[in-house]
């Protein structure tokens, strides 16, 4: 999926049902999220995150934090209770517009649309914390890998990056099933597959993963170190998912 198509997909979701697009709980689809209820999940998530880092003994510098894939600011705003300046970055203009609409933290929360395969808008060693959840799993693996490298690059020497990413499906497909799927993709145009998915599921949200060993090797090859890796259940959909905590070497 190209960046332009990825942006169109998430921009459309942000226009139609922005809160559900961020937290796709089945009972909340169709505008059924209450804003206060939705944002309270972000407060709880940030509290858990900070308690986790404290237990790990890796309290990050408090000047700046990056929330990558910020959506409407569900986690960005609660982070402002712990950091002086919070940057929320997302690919969808509609999501950023909603984030600015909901923003109750003023200039402490700054939002930006970023349609690039990198974070070149930020200098090296900028952030004490880089956080990303429920975002990398929706990107093509090659792009997710580039961004993980960028997470390490923009990290303060004493900072940490905490990100979630599926590793592999919990149940591997039979080799013949995999062959059939590859054959279908070879003979059927991509636009036909996208149209089918949209008609069946009502959206085109992709799910992808990167094996755990590949993520660790990628981090270590680019000046980082995996401080902690724990299994995570947030991906759902039959995937084994992990929460990575990464520092700079």
Tens of pLDDT, residues 115-174: 999 999 999 999 999 999 999 999 999 999 999 999 999 999 999 999 999 998 765 544
In a domain, 188, yes or no: no
Instruction: Using only the alpha carbons of the chain, give its radius of gyration.
Output: 18
pLDDT of residue 44: 98
Q: What domain range includes position 22?
A: 3-171+204-248
Q: Is residue 184 part of a domain?
A: no
- Confidence check: pLDDT of 201 > 50: no
On whether residue 62 sits in a domain, the answer given is: yes
Helix (H, G, I), strand (E, B) or coil at 246: strand
Q: What is the CATH number of the domain that holds 12?
A: 3.40.50.150
Position 238 scores a pLDDT of 79
Domain count, the chain: 1
The predicted-structure confidence for 65-118, as pLDDT tens digits, reads as follows 999 999 999 999 999 999 999 999 999 999 999 999 999 999 999 999 999 999
81 dihedral zone (left: phi>0; alpha: psi -120 to 50; beta): alpha
Q: CB-based burial of residue 194 (10 Å sphere; 0-12 exposed, 13-18 middle, 19+ buried)?
A: middle
Q: Does 180 map to a domain? A: no
Q: Is residue 196 part of a domain?
A: no
Residue 52 lies in a domain: yes
Q: What is the DSSP letter of 57?
A: T
pLDDT greater than 90 at residue 2: no
CB 162 within 8 A of CB 130: yes
68 by DSSP, 3-state: which? strand
Q: Does some domain include residue 118?
A: yes
- Is 55 strand, coil or helix? helix
pLDDT of residue 186: 59
pTM of the model: 0.87
Residue 87 within a domain: yes
The arithmetic mean of pLDDT across residues 198-210, rounded, is: 66
Give, to the nearest 10 degrees, the angle between helix 212-221 and helix 141-153: 40
């Amino acid at each position: 999926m190209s960046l332009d198509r990825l942006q169109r997909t998430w921009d459309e979701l942000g226009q139609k049902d922005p809160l559900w697009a961020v937290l796709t709980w089945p009972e909340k689809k169709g505008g059924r999220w209450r804003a206060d209820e939705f944002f309270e999940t972000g407060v709880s998530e940030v509290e858990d995150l900070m308690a986790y880092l404290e237990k790990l003994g890796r309290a990050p510098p408090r000047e700046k934090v990056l929330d990558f894939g910020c959506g409407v600011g569900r986690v960005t705003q609660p982070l402002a209770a712990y950091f002086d300046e919070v940057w929320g970055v997302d690919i969808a203009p509609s999501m950023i517009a909603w984030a600015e609409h909901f923003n109750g933290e003023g200039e402490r929360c700054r939002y930006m649309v970023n349609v690039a395969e990198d974070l070149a808008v930020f200098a090296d060693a900028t952030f004490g914390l880089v956080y990303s959840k429920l975002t990398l799993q929706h990107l093509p693996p090659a792009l997710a890998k580039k961004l993980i490298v960028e997470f390490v690059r923009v990290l303060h020497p004493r900072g940490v990056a905490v990100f979630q990413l599926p590793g592999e499906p919990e149940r591997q497909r039979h080799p013949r099933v995999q062959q059939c799927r590859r054959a279908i993709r070879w003979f059927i145009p991509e636009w036909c597959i996208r149209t089918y998915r949209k008609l069946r599921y009502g959206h085109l949200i992709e799910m992808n993963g990167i094996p755990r060993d590949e993520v660790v090797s990628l981090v270590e090859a680019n000046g980082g170190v995996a401080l902690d890796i724990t299994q995570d259940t947030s991906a759902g959909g039959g995937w084994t998912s992990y929460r990575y905590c990464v520092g700079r070497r």
